[in-house]
Amino acid sequence: MKLIENLKRSEWSQVLRRPTKSVDDIENIVNDVFSAVKANGDNAIKSYTAKFDNVELDDIEVTKTEIEEASERVTKELKKAIKLAKKNIKQFHKAQQTDKVFLKTMRGVKCWQEKRPIQKVGLYIPGGTAPLFSTVLMLAIPANIAGCSDIVLCSPPNSEGKIADEILYTAKLCGVTKVIKVGGIQAIAGLTFGTESIPQVYKIFGPGNQYVTVAKQIATKYGVAIDMPAGPSELLVMADESANPAYVASDLLSQAEHGSDSQVILVTTSKKFAEKVNSEVESQLEVLPRKEMATDAINNSKSIVVKDFKTALDLIDEYGPEHFIVATNDDDYFVENIGNAGSVFIGNYTPESAGDYASGTNHTLPTNGFSKAYSGVNLDSFQKSMTFQKISQKGIKNIGPAIELMAEAEGLQAHKNAVTLRLKDLES
């Protein structure tokens, strides 16, 4: 990792740039795929699957038999671990349920708000370099708690035309209603328009590579909502000499191994500590099965030495990391003051991988600085709030004159008339 000292604030934006392509580089490809899928449905899906995933499929929908057989192949030990994770994730997301908000704003005027599920949702589960069955837990569990009726899962097939056993088992465990063997841009296009095999959905969830991220953004042009622009994974660690360099290095590498376009950053007040971490990174990197991919990500990454915690906090907020680990002699300073981060991990014994799998929080988080404005996936992501109001005769008398005056001031006579007619009837 490149070590940087004495960084000027004017240089922050350049140094903190993500190693991602711009939307312009990808958008033309995405638009071509969308147009083809919209026009030709499953045939286009199969054609692009052959082109991008190097596998030709007769049917893209996973059968119940395939799911049952896949579930049988998952080991008892892994099933137990997945069920433990499910329990914690379900508990945490169920706790996010809220009661109806009801209020009499004035005599005769009742207003309330209720949550209703988004009926049709699409879950995108990456499965290329790593089959992320953990993401099934993170998306399908809150979708079920929310009460979504159609939960459609798309994941790319392997070279044999199959989805990983672990993904299919977890989908079954978490109540997914349909599983489709399709990934990449064509999956997002299928969920956007609907095809012979893929139901059209109202909202698309899930992380993916840069192409999937842009495809999700393009989907919004066609009236489909998305959870967030979640692209390549990233992690920022704030640590000082009170932290364990080996732990910090392991956390940095845990995100670096996601993909060549991932990015990890260490911020520290100690050059000596940064050097220790860099040494640990090099050592631990050598034994990783995904060494080549992690090395590419490390080459995109940096160790930044700052003068004090205040400067560190300002820099971290400017970056807006997806994952933020703090391991210092004053963690509370960062916990209480951090403004922009997808999820925060506190102390030497809270690895980021805990949130990825089993602590209970959701790992589908905003990347690329979007944590400045977006939340990570939560129960509310699968619901929408609906407001209601009921006004009695007494209520319209109380509130009506104000409505008439305001509507007239805005030049909206029909708005005023809607009240005036009722008030006149009540006077007669």
Active-site annotation holder among 234, 280, 322, 352: 322
Least confident of 155-159, 192-196, 413-417: 155-159
Least confident of 41-45, 159-163, 386-390, 404-408: 159-163
> Which pLDDT band holds residue 230 (cuts at 50, 70, 90)?
confident
> Does 378 belong to an annotated binding site?
no
pLDDT at 239: 98
What mean pLDDT do residues 252-278 have? 94
> Does 323 belong to an annotated binding site?
yes
Name the DSSP letter for residue 424: H
> Does 233 belong to an annotated binding site?
yes
pLDDT digits (tens, 9 = 90+) for 322-367: 999 999 999 999 999 999 999 999 999 999 999 999 999 999 999 9
323 is annotated as an active-site residue: yes
387 φ, ψ to 5°? -100, 150
> Does 363 belong to an annotated binding site?
no
For the chain, what is the mean pLDDT? 95
pLDDT at residue 374 above 70?
yes
Q: Which phi-psi region, left, alpha or beta, contains residue 145 (left: φ > 0; alpha: ψ -120 to 50)?
A: alpha
Q: What is the pTM of this model?
A: 0.93
Q: Which CATH number is 23-231's, of 3.20.20.120, 3.90.230.10, 3.40.50.1980, 3.40.50.300?
A: 3.40.50.1980
Q: State the Cα–Cα distance between residues 376 and 367, nearest whole angstrom.
A: 10
What mean pLDDT do residues 87-93 have? 98
- Identify the CATH homologous superfamily for domain 2-17+232-360: Nitrogenase molybdenum iron protein domain (3.40.50.1980)
93 is annotated as an active-site residue: no
> Which pLDDT band holds residue 61 (cuts at 50, 70, 90)?
very high
> Does 258 belong to an annotated binding site?
yes
One-letter amino acid at 307 equals: K
Active-site annotation holder among 323, 336, 352, 404: 323
Identify whether the C-beta of residue 206 lies closer than 8 Å to the C-beta of residue 187.
no
pLDDT at 59: 95
Q: Give Cβ neighbours of residue 410 (< 8 Å, ≥ 6 apart).
A: none
pLDDT digits (tens, 9 = 90+) for 98-137: 999 999 999 999 999 999 999 999 999 998 667 899 999 9
DSSP H or E stretch at residue 294: helix 291-299
> Which pLDDT band holds residue 233 (cuts at 50, 70, 90)?
confident
pLDDT at 22: 62
> Does 255 belong to an annotated binding site?
yes
pLDDT at 420: 98
User: Of 74, 27, 208, whose CA–CA distance to 129 is shortest?
Assistant: 208
What mean pLDDT do residues 16-21 have? 79
> Does 257 belong to an annotated binding site?
no
Identify whether the C-beta of residue 221 lies closer than 8 Å to the C-beta of residue 238.
no
> Which pLDDT band holds residue 302 (cuts at 50, 70, 90)?
very high
Neighbours of 287 (CB within 10 A): 7
Burial class (CB in 10 A: 0-12, 13-18, 19+), 103: exposed
Least confident of 80-84, 148-152, 225-229, 241-245: 225-229
Burial class (CB in 10 A: 0-12, 13-18, 19+), 333: middle
